[in-house]
Amino acid sequence: METNNSNTSLGTTSLAGSCSGERYWFAFLFSSIATFVIGVFAILLWRCGALIYKRGPTIRHRSGRLVSNSEKQDTSYSFDPMHERNWATIIKEYAAKLISGQQTPGKILVIAVVVLSLASLVIYFYDVSTQPIESCQLWTENPMQQVDLAFNIFFLFYFFLRFVAAQDKLRFWCLDIHSWVDFFTIPPSFTAIVLGRNWIGMRFFRIARILNIPDILQFLHILRSSNTIRLTRMLCLLFTVWLSAAGFVHLVENSGDFFQNYTNSQPITYFQCVYFLIVTMSTVGYGDFHLRTTIGQCFIIFFITGGLALFARAIPELAEMLSNKKKYAGQYRLENGKKFVLVCGHITFTSMENFLKDFLHEDRVSSDSFYDADVLIVDKKHSVDFEFQALLKRHFTRVRYFDATVMDPVDLERVKLKRTEAVLILANKDAIDPDGEDASNIMRVISIKNYHSETKIIVQLLQYHNKMHLMNIPAWNNNTDEAVCIAELKLGLIAESCLNPGFSTMIANIFAMRSDSEVAGKLTEKGTPDRSIWLQQYLRGASLEMYTETLSNYFVHDLKNFSEAARFCLVELDILLFAIEVCEENGQRRLAINPDRTSKYFRIAKRTRGFFLAGSSEEASR
């Protein structure tokens, strides 16, 4: 760095003239080291005493057994778990709750620590700009020193809380970075009162407190995404290394080497040190500044090794996080009157292709509750493959994909869960662990219900016995929510097929959405000019889907009963009426499949809905 050997510069940057040339920096440093050593010794002594105390009852018990059998009962020791929760345990648990920041008092305490640490840094920046490294002014005459002392008393209280809450006291004392910050900042402030001096010293270590800023921002719900949290933590780490290293360089360069009687010191401001280190970290190296002290030169060797590695790793990562805006981030823009459904769970190309093929089928009519509804796919993927992207582009007008999870309330707010018509949770039918797959879907149900209890949920389960877990969810509504058990459905279809051969095939064809054009294409395929009549009839039946329509007054007044209505639909309209839904006087709706003359639903009443098998929605709406 720039050289300047004038006595005036040395006097104003290293040692104040009122100190008569005497330096006591070693006393400040010794107070920090002594605090650390004494603490380690006290912890080890406490552990030895606790070990001896715990072994004492065992030794006394064994010695009592050697006396006589009658005395054995007198020397026995009982264990009462209730007495183990003594006052020390209660204080430890309370201290742990405070420093964890999970409750309001703890959040206030953690925020106060960071705010006061930043305020202490402001005082440090002011002192390094206006005062020499070591001055002989009394603390009662220095307002800044008084304020800093008050801050350090608060930090001492916080250090005590963290020490009480620590599970491993020795590890906390020796390996916790914030403990070292307190060792080098709190004891010197009390030493300054005793000596009547002030030493700027290691107060730059307080910069390490900015590593807690990401946690504070999470408490305040300012940082919500993992990307912004990573970005903030990386920036805080860079600033910590950069500014703390600048503080050490400022200290040693303005003080000089003690083994050379401080003759090689040079006046340099803190912000010149910051400039020098950022130039060094970025590998630019202009050469307009250089270090003169041996301690500073040795330090910069290690700093270049570690700092350059950190800088080289951080810059590309920062550039990636700043420039890489997630393609599927953002939130759903809800249009007035627009319906939409959420789909989550086991999201793959195959599962979504089959679902969208049925849900977005052209034969869906306006009477369907999900007609013209958008589909929001909610899934947390590291990357979306090209095949899935092609599927999304194919249905881009009605399908949106969100890189989110239903387990996060922030993501549920992004996809407007409270306004959705229903949530569909798909299961992996090929899961190796069916119970584990069901447990994952049940947890999704709990998360959704906790966020909004009125949301309608349709969930797939693999095992029937897992349905009872859904019944234990307080917000589960048996009237609106549905649990589809795949194993139960399969076994039911197999059992019914044994009694009625072909039943499962018929049901599968009914629920599959196929248009007449698809079947016509199969009937006219090249190479198969003469198809059997039964095969043509089967393909024709496979093209039929189930539709619901409200029956007109003609069915009520002219046809009157179900048999006449079914005959009329088959002969005149070429569609099949196989069930009706009747609205009773109390408002409940009842479903009757092929009711006979003995059924009270045999006669068709007003507001009756019919269930039809037809080739298209136009045929059913006639």
Instruction: Tell which wins on pLDDT, 352 or 522.
Output: 352
Most confident of 16-30, 55-69, 207-221, 335-349: 335-349
Output the pLDDT for position 446: 94
Query: Scanning the structure block, which residue is given the tokens 């190309």?
Result: 349
pLDDT digits (tens, 9 = 90+) for 374-408: 899 999 876 677 888 888 888 888 899 998 899 98
Output the pLDDT for position 67: 45
| Partners of residue 400 on adjacent β-strands | 376
What is the C-alpha separation between 189 and 148, in angstroms, rounded? 8
Output the pLDDT for position 445: 94
- Using only C-alpha atoms, what is the Rg of the chain? 39
As a whole-number percent, the residues of the chain with pLDDT over 70 amount to 83
Mean pLDDT of 475-482: 88
Per DSSP, helices labelled H in 256-361 are 270-281, 294-323, 349-359
What is the C-alpha separation between 24 and 21, in angstroms, rounded? 10
pLDDT digits (tens, 9 = 90+) for 513-558: 665 555 555 555 554 555 577 777 777 777 777 777 888 888 877 7
Q: Cα torsion for 401, 406, 408, 413, to the nearest 10°?
A: 60
Output the pLDDT for position 56: 56
Most confident of 30-39, 104-113, 312-321, 564-573: 30-39
Mean pLDDT of the chain: 80
DSSP 249: H
What is the C-alpha separation between 297 and 579, in angstroms, rounded? 91
What is the C-alpha separation between 513 and 615, in angstroms, rounded? 10
Q: How many helices (H) and strands (E) does the chain have?
A: 26, 12
What is the C-alpha separation between 444 and 349, in angstroms, rounded? 21
Show the CA angle centred on residue 396, arms to residues 395 and 400, nearest 5°.
Answer: 105
Mean pLDDT of 119-130: 88
What is the C-alpha separation between 326 and 520, in angstroms, rounded? 44
What is the C-alpha separation between 368 and 546, in angstroms, rounded? 11
Output the pLDDT for position 451: 92
As a whole-number percent, the residues of the chain with pLDDT over 90 amount to 15
pLDDT digits (tens, 9 = 90+) for 238-277: 888 888 899 999 999 988 888 888 888 888 888 889 888 8
Q: E strands of 445-559, at which residues?
A: 457-461, 482-485, 545-550
pLDDT at 113 over 80: yes
Kindly report the pTM of this predicted structure: 0.53
Main-chain phi, psi angles of 564, to 5 degrees: -65, -40
Q: Is 342 helix (H, G, I), strand (E, B) or coil?
A: strand
Show the CA angle centred on residue 65, arms to residues 64 and 69, nearest 5°.
Answer: 110
Output the pLDDT for position 365: 52
The domains of the chain, with CATH numbers, are 7-45+99-323 (no CATH), 340-495 (3.40.50.720), 502-621 (3.30.70.1450)
| Nearest by Cα to 372 from 335, 409, 344, 401 | 335
Output the pLDDT for position 68: 47
pLDDT digits (tens, 9 = 90+) for 29-88: 899 999 999 999 999 999 888 888 776 555 445 555 544 444 444 444 444 444 445 677
pLDDT digits (tens, 9 = 90+) for 144-184: 888 989 999 999 999 998 898 888 889 989 988 889 989 99
DSSP for 543-604, please give it: T-EEEEEE--HHIIIII-BHHHHHHHIIIIIS-EEEEEEEE-TTS-EEEEES--TTSTTSB-
Output the pLDDT for position 383: 66
Burial class of residue 506 (count of CB atoms within 10 Å of its CB; 0-12, 13-18, 19+):
middle
Quick check: 415 and 331 in contact, CB under 8 A?
A: yes
The set of residues, in sequence order, having a beta carbon less than 8 Å from that of 501 and lying 6+ positions away, is none
Q: Among the listed ranges 9-13, 33-37, 172-176, 444-448, which one has the minimum average pLDDT value?
A: 9-13
